[in-house]
Amino acid sequence: MLISKPELDRLFGEYHIGVSDEQYKKLSVYSAMLTEWNEKINLTAITDPEGIALKHFFDSVYPFTLFDVPSGAEVIDVGTGAGFPSCPLKIFREDIKLTLLDSLNKRIKFLSELSDKLELSAECIHGRAEELGRKPEYREKFDIATARAVADLSLLCEYCMPFVKTGGVFAALKGADGRKELEASENAVRILGGKTELCREYSLPNGDKRCLIIIRKVKASPEKYPRNKGQMTKKPL
């Protein structure tokens, strides 16, 4: 279940985001599927209608209004889980081309069905970022790589930056410690060919702290990255 259309309009409208009837319908289907599948596989701890609206849908869409997402941008969502942030984003930005990457096949099955039901035309890939980022068909092919709270930022940079073409961006959606994480990740950003463009702290309507970090890819990532997971964990950049 999802909160009513007027309630959702109020939530998004405060931040100058309009919600059409068609978008509301798709979000309602998304919410129902999320709740249903969550009983079979662990997708989310947030299952109440208000929580889904705020912490999944609003929190996925709003950060992408804070920077320029080019028309027709190719976006890869790394470690996407239940499709956040990129599936709600695709509902509001139908022009983007979406690739969803997750290491758990059960989640990919959910995402494939979600993509079909909501007509997202997403490419759903079962695989590991550190392996896929080395493959020529995916390496440096995306305008935007994004990830939401799946690992420490220095590790996320190594997972995500190799996917981004020169001139594109890595958009990391972090919590209250985002700025601190960024300071600790300066070396990783530089090594992987990035330059920090934006570190924007903001609050959700309920007061929860968030931080959007935009890293611009200014040169190609060295070929030896990403390393395997063991090396990354043992010797972070």
CATH, range 54-234: 3.40.50.150
Domain positions in the chain are 54-234
Tokens of 228: 């395997």
Tokens of 172: 């990391």
- Note if the pTM is more than 0.85: yes
**How far from 82 is each of 32, 35, 38, 100, CA to CA, in Å?**
13, 11, 9, 10
Q: Quick one: how far is CA 67 from the chain centroid? A: 14
Round to whole Å and give the CA distance between 59 and 204.
7
Round to whole Å and give the CA distance between 165 and 20.
33
**Percent helix, strand and coil across the chain, each to the nearest 5:** 40, 20, 35
Q: pLDDT of 50-105, one tens digit each?
A: 999 999 999 999 999 999 999 999 999 999 999 999 999 999 999 999 999 999 99
Round to whole Å and give the CA distance between 15 and 229.
38
- Specify the pLDDT at position 151: 84
The β-bridge partners of 124 are 100
Round to whole Å and give the CA distance between 181 and 202.
16
Q: pLDDT of 195-218, one tens digit each?
A: 999 999 999 999 999 999 999 999
Cβ of 47: how many Cβ atoms within 10 Å? 15
* Nearest C-alpha neighbor of 232 from the set 128, 84, 127: 128
Q: pLDDT of 103-142, one tens digit each?
A: 999 999 999 999 999 999 999 999 999 999 999 999 999 9
149 has pLDDT over 80: no
8 Å CB contact between 67 and 198: yes
